Amino acid sequence: MGFARTCSVALVGVEGVVVEVQADLEPGVAAFTLVGLPDKSLTESRDRVRAAVVNSGATWPQKKLTVGLSPASVPKSGSGFDLAVAAAVLGAAERIDPRVLADIVMIGEVGLDGRVRPVRGILPAVLAAADAGYEQVVVPESAAAEASLVPGVSVLGVRSLRQLIAVLADEPVPDEEPDEAGRPDPLLAGLRVPGTGAATGMHSVGAAQLDHDLADVVGQTSARTAVEVAAAGGHHLFLEGPPGAGKTMLAERLPAILPPLNRQESLEVTAVHSVAGLLPTGKPLIDVAPYCAPHHSATMQALVGGGPGIARPGAVSLSHRGVLFLDETPEFSSRALDALRQPLEAGHVVIARSAGVVRFPARFLMVLAANPCPCGRFSPTDDLCECPPSAIRRYQARLSGPLLDRVDLRVEVDRVTRAQLTERGVRGESTATVAGRVREARERAVARLAGTPWRTNSEVPGRELRSRWHAVSGAMDEAERNLERGVLTARGIDRVLRVAWTVADLVGHDRPDATDVALALQLRTGVPRGVPMAIGALT
C-alpha cells in the first residue's frame, strides 16, 4: 500500500483554507475515487491528472486509487487542485519521495499534455498558505510573480508537470519548448475570465494610468472643489447636472488625484482582482486606485457580488480602495442601489449562500452622477425643460433618501457656457497640483489618526469626532441649527464634521473653523454660505 500527501488551498471569497490532498493506493481493480466535497470542475480533475501524468512520461498506477481532500467539510471548487492531486498520486506510486511533498503547497491546473496553467486567486491562496505557516509554494510559471508578492514564502514556478517531477525527484530539469514567436501564450488564459475587463467597466486599470488631466475640465469650480475634497477625505460624491456638463470627466479624473496605494492596500486590491480574474497581464501588483464604472443595467449581484455557487466579487469589491462611478444613477434598479447602503457604512460586503458565507472588502469612494430630470434640461433659472413636474419628481425619487444621506458631498454641475468653452489661455489647476494638496492632506489626517484603525476622515465614527477631535469653539453652530430645522440628520451633521476636517487638512488648519464648516455645509446641502469655493482661495 502506498500513501502520500501534499497541500493546496480552497478559496472562499478572498480568504483561503489550506487543504491536505491525500492519495492512497491499494491492491484491487484499477479505479480513481475523489472525495472531500469537490465540485464539477474538481471532479473532472481525475481525467486531466491521469492524462497529464501519462503524457509527462510517468506510469499511472494500476491499482485502486483514492484521493481525499481534507477537511472534507469545506466545499472545494475550481481546477487549482490539479497539481497537488497529480503530485500526491505520484508520491503514493513512489515516483516522488512522499516526504518531500508533505510541507509543500501546490496550486495550478494541469492540461492533458502536462502543461501547468494558472488559475484565479493565486495571491490570496499563497497568503493563506503563509498564514498557515507553510514556506514552500509551487505555482504555474506565469503566476510566479504574483505569488512572490507574499514575503517569507519560497516560490517555485513550473511550466509543466515534467519539470515538477524532475525538481522533486532531484533529476535534471527538462526544458520546455517555447511557443512560436508572436503567438499569444495559451497558458495565460487562466488568468482572465471571459466577459470581464475594460469593456464591462469593471477593471483594475486606474484612470491615473490614462491621459486624463483635471485641467481639461472647463469651469465647474464647485464640482472641482468637491472632487478634491472627496479624494482628500474619502468622501462619497453626488454630481447632478445637465448632459455634457462634465460629470463623467470629473469622475474619470478622480482616481488620478488619489494617493498611490501602500503595500497593504495593494495586496488587498490585487487579491480581489486575482479572485475575479481581472489582473492586468504582466502586472502582478496593482498599486494605483482602481476605477469601476458598471453600466446602469447592472444587476444587484453585479454590483455587490454573488452568482451561483460560491459568490464572486462585484463592482463594490473591484473598486476597493478606489472609485466606483455610477453614471446615470437613477437608471439603476432601486434594489441594486439600496444594496449599496450596507457596504457604504461597513467597508465590506457579506454574501450568504447555501455553499457558504463570503466576505469581500468594499471600502470604496462612490461617485453618483445624475441628470436633474428625464430630459436633462431642468433648471430653476430657465425653462428649457419640457418634463411635467410629476415626471421630474418620479425621476428624482429613484434615489432613496437613506442612500443619499450616506453621500457626504452633493454638487450641482452647471451647464457650460459658450464663453467658458471658447475662452483661451485660462485653465483650471492641473491634476499634479491638486494631487499634491490631496497627498499633504492625507498625510495630516494619517498623523492625527495615528494609533487608531482609521486612515481617512470618512472612516472616523461620529462619536469619536465629537469626543476626541473638536472643531473651533462655535464653528458648528450653523450646522447644529440646520439639525434643529430638519435640514440635516444626526448622520448628516457627523458627515459635515468629517468634511470640515478634510477641508481643514487641505488648507492647513489645525482644527476646522467656521469657514471650513461653512464650506462643508455648502458641499453637503448645496445652499450658498458666502465662502470661496476654490480650495486655493482658502489657503
Q: State the cell numbers at 389.
A: 413636474
Distance between CA 51 and CA 58 in Å, rounded? 10
Task: Please give, one letter per residue, the 3-state secondary structure of 100-161.
Answer: HHCCEEECCEECCCCEEECCCCHHHHHHHHHHCCCCEEEEEHHHHHHHCCCCCCEEEEECEH
196 or 497, which is more confident:
497
What is the pLDDT, as a whole number, of residue 183? 52
Q: State the cell numbers at 451.
A: 494609533
Mean pLDDT of 530-539: 65
pLDDT band for position 81 (50/70/90)?
A: very high
Please check whether residue 291 is in contact with residue 207, taking contact to mean a CB–CB distance below 8 angstroms: yes
Distance between CA 474 and CA 323 in Å, rounded? 35
**Closest by Cα among 224, 138, 174, 230 to 420:** 224
**Distances in whole angstroms, Cα of residue 111 to Cα of each of 48, 99, 511:** 6, 26, 62
Distance between CA 230 and CA 217 in Å, rounded? 17
324 or 355, which is more confident:
324
Lowest mean per-residue pLDDT among 10-19, 159-168, 179-188: 179-188
**Distances in whole angstroms, Cα of residue 482 to Cα of each of 118, 489, 492, 522:** 57, 9, 10, 12
Distance between CA 347 and CA 201 in Å, rounded? 21
3-state class (DSSP) for residue 206: coil
Q: Residue 463: in which H helix or E strand, if any?
A: helix 462-468
3-state class (DSSP) for residue 208: helix
3-state class (DSSP) for residue 18: strand
Highest mean pLDDT among 297-301, 361-365, 413-417: 361-365
Please check whether residue 339 is in contact with residue 299, taking contact to mean a CB–CB distance below 8 angstroms: no
DSSP per position, 486-526: TSS-HHHHHHHHHHHHHHHHHHT-SS--HHHHHHHHHHHH-
pLDDT in tens, 165-197: 999 999 998 887 765 544 555 555 555 554 444
Environment class of 29 (CB within 10 Å of its CB; exposed 0-12, middle 13-18, buried 19+): exposed
Global model pTM greater than 0.75: yes
**Closest by Cα among 515, 511, 512 to 529:** 515
pLDDT in tens, 466-481: 888 888 888 888 888 8
**Closest by Cα among 63, 74, 57 to 355:** 74
pLDDT band for position 533 (50/70/90)?
A: low
What is the pLDDT, as a whole number, of residue 384? 78
First CA to last CA distance, the chain: 79
38: phi then psi, degrees, rounded to nearest 5: -80, 150
What is the pLDDT, as a whole number, of residue 486? 82
pLDDT in tens, 418-466: 777 777 766 778 899 999 999 999 999 999 999 898 999 999 988 888 8
What is the pLDDT, as a whole number, of residue 479? 87
* pLDDT of 240 strictly over 80: yes
* pLDDT of 202 strictly over 80: no
**Closest by Cα among 7, 313, 38 to 132:** 7
Lowest mean per-residue pLDDT among 13-27, 394-408, 438-452: 394-408
Please check whether residue 317 is in contact with residue 82, taking contact to mean a CB–CB distance below 8 angstroms: no
3-state class (DSSP) for residue 429: coil
The alpha carbon of residue 90 and the mean position of all alpha carbons in its chain are separated, in whole angstroms, by 39
Q: What percent of the chain has pLDDT over 90?
A: 56
What is the pLDDT, as a whole number, of residue 377? 80
Distance between CA 400 and CA 199 in Å, rounded? 29
Mean pLDDT of 78-100: 94
